[in-house]
Amino acid sequence: MKRFFLVCTAVLLACGTSYGWARVAHATVAKIAENHLSTKAKRMLDKYLDGKSIVYYASHADEYKPELLMDLGFEPSNAKRKVTFPHTFSVDENYNILRGQRDGDKFVKNCVYMVDEFAADLKANHRTMEDSLRMLKIVMIVHWLGDMHCPKHIRYPDDQTTGYYKVKWRGRSVRYHDVWDAIFFEEQHPWGLVDCAEMLDDCDKREIKAITSGSVYDWGVDVAKRAHCVNEIKEGEVVDIHAFRIKYRDLAEKAVRDAGYRLAALFNEVFK
């Protein structure tokens, strides 16, 4: 493995904070994607990731510290604020994606923008790109494409919070963002990622073609439209778990499934 990536990883591992789907969901997204990669995409990813699966790297980005972001060129607008990945995105009242997040936010760029930018760079330059940079861009696409499908990673005109407020969940006070990042999906899917991927990967070729049609931005609009309903849960609300499951389980499962199909489609296009 190349020196730059090893150094970054060795120095920066140890941050346990979740910035997107937690490990089970991110790994399931990557596993579904792996099942739908073209022969050439599989071969190129195997080469560029030193033989490791994209599943192996699915949550790698959640363990990076701010120094890595600085190496990638991200500059915090306020050094006293915690630096995190651009793992959310903003939309207007018509669900069109804004290039920035909001006034005064840490980054002008968002995860949809970053997936699109990194994929375009890889497609044009992956054969000549520095090994460590190419590897990082692949790993970040795997993670960010999962992030952009998480229902509480979208900032709407009527709700900019991304769920950073407390609700009551099974008698505990938890952040609503964390309900969507980890708690809900993992409660409903307590089995291993292979079984989870097998159960969620239930579309035929025609359905997959429809899900993966359009651009990365089109996918973001689709996610934003479907996910807006989760904002109905307000700060301090005691969540009725049974009603929540009935209303939102299908949304969560389709978000993970569609992210997997779209990740495969993106890599198949990059390495075609």
- Residue 150 per-residue DSSP state: S
> What's the token pair of residue 167?
């609700």
CA distance 55 to 246: 29
Q: Quote the percentage of the chain above a pLDDT of 90.
A: 69
> What's the token pair of residue 127?
């054969």
CA distance 156 to 58: 27
- Residue 63: in which H helix or E strand, if any? none
Angle at 251 between CA 245 and CA 256, to 5 degrees: 115
Q: What pLDDT shows up at residue 64?
A: 59
- Main-chain dihedrals φ then ψ at residue 174, nearest 5 degrees: -135, 160
C-alpha 265: how far from chain center:
15
Q: What pLDDT shows up at residue 22?
A: 77
Contact 20, 147 (CB under 8 A): yes
Range with the lowest mean pLDDT among 26-40, 41-55, 70-84, 205-219? 70-84
Q: What is the DSSP pairing of strand 89-91 with strand 154-155?
A: parallel
Contact 168, 239 (CB under 8 A): yes
pLDDT tens for 61-78 read 776 555 556 556 666 544
Residue scoring higher pLDDT (167 or 72): 167
CATH class of domain segment(s) 3-270:
mainly alpha
Q: What is the DSSP pairing of strand 172-175 with strand 166-169?
A: antiparallel
CA distance 90 to 155: 4
Mean pLDDT of all residues in the chain? 86
Q: What pLDDT shows up at residue 231?
A: 97
User: At residue 53, does pLDDT exceed 80?
Assistant: yes
Q: Tokens 């689709």 sit at which residue?
A: 222
Give the Å distances, CA to CA, from 50 to 5, 33, 44, 134, 137: 12, 18, 10, 12, 14
Q: What pLDDT shows up at residue 6?
A: 38
Strands (E) across 125-210 are located at 154-155, 166-169, 172-175
Q: Tokens 């198949």 sit at which residue?
A: 268
Give the Å distances, CA to CA, from 173 to 33, 121, 150, 194, 253: 34, 43, 21, 31, 24
pLDDT tens for 110-144 read 899 889 999 999 999 999 999 989 998 999 999 99
Residue scoring higher pLDDT (51 or 2): 51
Q: What pLDDT shows up at residue 191?
A: 84
**For the whole model, what pTM was predicted?**
0.87
Give the Å distances, CA to CA, from 10 to 31, 47, 242: 25, 22, 43
pLDDT tens for 142-156 read 999 999 999 999 999
Range with the lowest mean pLDDT among 92-101, 209-218, 258-267? 92-101
CA distance 88 to 20: 9
Q: What pLDDT shows up at residue 99?
A: 76
Q: Where are the domains of the chain?
A: 3-270
Quick one: average pLDDT of 223-252?
97
Range with the lowest mean pLDDT among 137-151, 179-193, 207-221? 179-193
